[in-house]
A = this chain, B = another copy of it.
Amino acid sequence: MKSFKLKLVLLLTICFVAFTELNAQEQVLTKYVDPFIGATGEGHTFSGASLPYGMVKIGPDCGKLNANSGYDGDGEIKGVSHVHVSGTGGPPKYGNVLVAATSGPVDIINYGSHRTNESAAPGYYAYRSKEHNIESEYTVTHSVGFHKYTFAKNQKLNLMFDLGSFLAGGDNKKSGEYSQELVGSEVRVISDTEIEGYTRIRWGWNVGDAYTVYFYAVTDKPAQQTGTWKSGKLDKNKKSQFDSHEPVGAYLTFGSNSSGEVKMKVGISFLSIGKAKQNIKNELPAWDFEKVKKDASDIWNEKLNKVVVKTKNEDQKKIFYSAVYRTMLMPVNRTGENPKWKSDAPYYDDFYCIWDTFRATHPLLTLIQQDEQVEMINSLIDIYKQEGYAPDARSGNSTGRTQGGSNSDVLIADAFVKGLKGINYEEALNSMIKNAEVPPGGDERLMGRGGINDYNNLGYVSTDYERAGSRTMEYAYNDYCIAIVAKGLGKDALYEKYINRSKNWENIWNKDIESDGAKGFIWPKRKDGTWSNKWNVHKSEGWSGWLYEGNSWEYSLYVPHDVASVVAKAGGKDAFVSRLDTFFTKNTQSFHPWLNDYYNVNNEPGFLTPTLYTYAGKSYKTNETVRNIIIKNYTSKPDGLPGNDDAGSMSAWYIFNTIGFFPVAGQDVYIITAPMFNEVSLNLGNGKTFKIVANKLSAKNLYIKSIKLNGKFLDRAWFRHEEIENGGVMEIEMTNKPISWDKVLPPSLSTNK
């Protein structure tokens, strides 16, 4: 017995030491995260407090309440609300359960204030209000916003809950832009420390169904006065306001006997008030603000340590870790909070949208957040099982709107070829086939593939449909993804069907079109098979054009499964390289470059294009192109992102390209782009690490001279997932000379079947 005890003590000691060592290995990386990067300008990033994939995102709603993240840099702060997204465009979504802190008399309209100072860190946001002389601090757990208000002892504090407030703007129903609108709201003051209620909103970017955000709020001190309002009418004696499709609110007023500090927990739920209350009980039973703040920071720090980079450039570290941080804000884990059905599957919302995130964000998760990636895919499959389609985008518990292809197909293929466990690939394949075969109907932007009847009957989407060009290009790649999964599951007939359909992009390739020395472009084709004569290769359109957010220069290059075929059609390697040179140099970087330019750094259709040089044997051009784009477009300033961050997509593009390689999403292939860090360690989980070392790296030494992967020299500027999935080392010698050292081209359908 004694011996057993001794063993146990030894074991515990070893565990403790191991645990301490593991923690000791973790660096403090949160200090490099600046949540304000991308928060102004076109980035639209969220600057408030959230956990990774956190349901509650507490942050300021500013000015005219029309910013996508709620935030602007210097306008009035109306208050903080509890649900947000990050980096999105179009009519904003969320901004629910707004709380404003004021002093003086209760004013249910003008409760906003200006900030005299403001700070943010992972899991924390704070500002001081100029007009009201109140210090407001916020931290979070997964589903609870934790508020702390400090005010002068001779002063009053009003906590105003405005359930009629939400983010809105961009309404243009004719072009399909629907601003959020109120469906209803309700509030009850339960006691002098408790308020509960909800706000019910519909529409916004995805034109979604009504969603309801319930809350339960409790303070650490009793209020001296309470009241409510409805439709602009204050009632100081009424304790509740029922839902009559009108905006309601309530307030708690604390006097000087509240010792100048009031804390409040606001539990949020998409199910009910009871669940919101329970979320507080589960996640935040005590009142220690500093501890919760530190816990949030620690959770983020662990996540940030998944990628450790070495460089002496502290500013670069700031850009990098802020980017890593932003890739983990969305989608949102709402497991246990689905008001539409009961399921054992995980439930994620705010895929917003996969058209953005399938290219870089999800492949990044597959490397460093595999469990979450599996959960997200399983939640997509569950949505397919319950509602009929795996979404390309979803927010507020509603699927919509599809941008181009059915890109959940790419996520599934990417997981399949990289061997992710815990996914029912048979069901997943069914969801892909549904996309490919059954028209979404009434609303072609809602789900599945708009115009699929044309695509399946004619081999391309005709000009009868909007986005016919970009849809055709994306559907072809989506079909390739189906083929690959079908083949892997032993379904050869399905493979043949879809691999043939993956060549459909050729049907809109017009070999006679010339532009700036390049010949052959994708081009609008009518239902009768004739080419449109009203078009030009520079034409780039938003929602309703032939190409979605891109031009023919750009989309003609989007054939990720068969770049070799594009190279051939473009006139061979030299012509192709020359075409890429034109593509990347004719870039005026206007405010909305995707409306004017050839290459769009700030939009997703061009994510892969810098790597295409490598497909023509000129990987050094990939190196310099990537380096140029990064230096020109990414900074540590609030406007330091090119275009909307799109749920972390711009950030993920940056991360891959600075650590030295970029994924061809849907394939087990990474193109080496050259690192911008001396050393990178990717924690692949289960104790596996993939290390990238860049020797002699400098501003001038931006080219690759040679690469050793796991001790062996590479004769190719790409590698497969299986070569790194168990960890390893990639050692790269850098040089200042552009050298064509790579011999073997990356795989393409037409050359490497």
A218-253 CB contacts (< 8 Å) to partner B: 240-245
Contact, CB under 8 Å: A271 / B184? yes
Which of the residues B183, B186, B200, B275 comes within 8 Å of A243, measured between beta carbons? Answer: B275
Contact, CB under 8 Å: B186 / A274? yes
Is A192 part of the contact surface with B, judged by Cβ < 8 Å?
Answer: no
Q: Distance in Å from the Cβ of A279 to the closest Cβ of chain B? A: 9
Q: Could you say which residues of chain B place their CB within 8 Å of the CB of A342?
A: 181-184, 245
Is A447 part of the contact surface with B, judged by Cβ < 8 Å?
Answer: yes
A339 to B211, CA, bound (A): 9
Q: Could you say which residues of chain B place their CB within 8 Å of the CB of A489?
A: none
Is A440 part of the contact surface with B, judged by Cβ < 8 Å?
Answer: yes
Q: Could you say which residues of chain B place their CB within 8 Å of the CB of A442?
A: 388-389, 438-441, 447-448
Write the A546-566 contact mask toward B (1 if CB under 8 angstroms, else 0).
000000000000000000000
Query: By CB atoms of chain B within 10 A, which of A210, A274, A275, A453 has the most?
Result: A274
Which of the residues B182, B200, B242, B341 comes within 8 Å of A202, measured between beta carbons? Answer: B341
Contact, CB under 8 Å: A340 / B443? no
Q: Could you say which residues of chain B place their CB within 8 Å of the CB of A210?
A: 339-341
Contact, CB under 8 Å: A183 / B244? no
A241-278 CB contacts (< 8 Å) to partner B: 241-245, 269, 271-275, 277-278
**Known contacts A271-B243, A441-B438: does B389 contact A183 (CB below 8 Å)?**
no
**Known contacts A181-B342, A210-B340, A340-B209: does B242 contact A272 (CB below 8 Å)?**
yes
Q: Distance in Å from the Cβ of A715 to the closest Cβ of chain B? A: 48
Contact, CB under 8 Å: A275 / B453? no
Q: Distance in Å from the Cβ of A22 to the closest Cβ of chain B? A: 34
Write the A334-362 contact mask toward B (1 if CB under 8 angstroms, else 0).
00100111100000000000000000000
Is A317 part of the contact surface with B, judged by Cβ < 8 Å?
Answer: no
Is A93 part of the contact surface with B, judged by Cβ < 8 Å?
Answer: no
A388-402 CB contacts (< 8 Å) to partner B: 388-389
**Known contacts A440-B442, A442-B439: does B278 contact A242 (CB below 8 Å)?**
yes
Is A188 part of the contact surface with B, judged by Cβ < 8 Å?
Answer: yes
Is A198 part of the contact surface with B, judged by Cβ < 8 Å?
Answer: yes
Contact, CB under 8 Å: B274 / A188? yes
Q: Distance in Å from the Cβ of A658 to the closest Cβ of chain B? A: 42
Contact, CB under 8 Å: B336 / A275? no
Closest to A277 in B: B242
A269 to B200, CA, bound (A): 15
Q: Could you say which residues of chain B place their CB within 8 Å of the CB of A275?
A: 186, 242-244
Q: Distance in Å from the Cβ of A266 to the closest Cβ of chain B? A: 16
Copies in the complex: 2
A183 to B272, CA, bound (A): 12
Which of the residues B212, B336, B341, B388 comes within 8 Å of A183, measured between beta carbons? Answer: B341
Q: Could you say which residues of chain B place their CB within 8 Å of the CB of A188?
A: 274
A560-607 CB contacts (< 8 Å) to partner B: none
Question: What secondary structure prevails in chain A residues at the interface with B?
Answer: loop
Contact, CB under 8 Å: A200 / B388? no
Q: Could you say which residues of chain B place their CB within 8 Å of the CB of A453?
A: 453
Write the A158-192 contact mask toward B (1 if CB under 8 angstroms, else 0).
00000000000000000000000111101010000
Q: Could you say which residues of chain B place their CB within 8 Å of the CB of A269?
A: 243
Contact, CB under 8 Å: A242 / B439? no
**Known contacts A442-B389, A448-B442: does B340 contact A186 (CB below 8 Å)?**
no
Q: Could you say which residues of chain B place their CB within 8 Å of the CB of A438?
A: 441-442
Contact, CB under 8 Å: A274 / B388? no
Closest to A434 in B: B442
A442 to B278, CA, bound (A): 38
A438 to B441, CA, bound (A): 7
Q: Could you say which residues of chain B place their CB within 8 Å of the CB of A183?
A: 339-342
Contact, CB under 8 Å: B272 / A202? no
A210 to B184, CA, bound (A): 18
Contact, CB under 8 Å: B340 / A272? no
A326 to B367, CA, bound (A): 63
Which of the residues B181, B184, B341, B388 comes within 8 Å of A339, measured between beta carbons? Answer: B184
Closest to A200 in B: B339
Q: Distance in Å from the Cβ of A242 to the closest Cβ of chain B? A: 4
Closest to A190 in B: B190
A278 to B184, CA, bound (A): 15
Contact, CB under 8 Å: B274 / A241? yes
A183 to B347, CA, bound (A): 14
Contact, CB under 8 Å: A244 / B336? yes
Q: Distance in Å from the Cβ of A663 to the closest Cβ of chain B? A: 31
Query: By CB atoms of chain B within 10 A, which of A210, A243, A339 has the most?
Result: A243
A181 to B342, CA, bound (A): 9
A441 to B212, CA, bound (A): 28
A533 to B441, CA, bound (A): 31
Q: Distance in Å from the Cβ of A590 to the closest Cβ of chain B? A: 37
Q: Distance in Å from the Cβ of A721 to the closest Cβ of chain B? A: 34
Q: Could you say which residues of chain B place their CB within 8 Å of the CB of A388?
A: 442-443
Closest to A448 in B: B442
Q: Distance in Å from the Cβ of A247 to the closest Cβ of chain B? A: 10
A442 to B440, CA, bound (A): 5
Q: Distance in Å from the Cβ of A508 to the closest Cβ of chain B? A: 23
Contact, CB under 8 Å: A272 / B245? no
A182 to B272, CA, bound (A): 15
Write the A274-309 contact mask toward B (1 if CB under 8 angstroms, else 0).
110110000000000000000000000000000000
Q: Could you say which residues of chain B place their CB within 8 Å of the CB of A272?
A: 184, 186, 198, 242-243
Q: Distance in Å from the Cβ of A458 to the closest Cβ of chain B? A: 14
Closest to A339 in B: B210
Q: Distance in Å from the Cβ of A528 to the closest Cβ of chain B? A: 15
Contact, CB under 8 Å: A242 / B274? yes
A442 to B435, CA, bound (A): 9
Q: Distance in Å from the Cβ of A135 to the closest Cβ of chain B? A: 33
A560 to B494, CA, bound (A): 47
Query: By CB atoms of chain B within 10 A, which of A242, A339, A438 has the most?
Result: A242
A-B contact pairs, 12 of them (CB 8 A): A183-B340, A184-B271, A184-B272, A186-B275, A202-B341, A209-B209, A210-B340, A244-B336, A245-B342, A389-B442, A439-B442, A453-B453
- 9 further A-B contacts with Cβ under 8 Å, apart from A184-B339, A438-B442, are A182-B342, A183-B339, A183-B340, A183-B342, A184-B271, A202-B340, A210-B340, A242-B274, A244-B278
Q: Which 5 A-B pairs have the closest CB atoms?
A: A441-B441, A242-B274, A245-B342, A242-B278, A243-B272
Interface residue ranges, A against B (CB under 8 Å): 181-184, 186, 188, 198, 200, 202, 209-210, 212, 240-245, 269, 271-275, 277-278, 336, 339-342, 388-389, 438-443, 447-448, 453
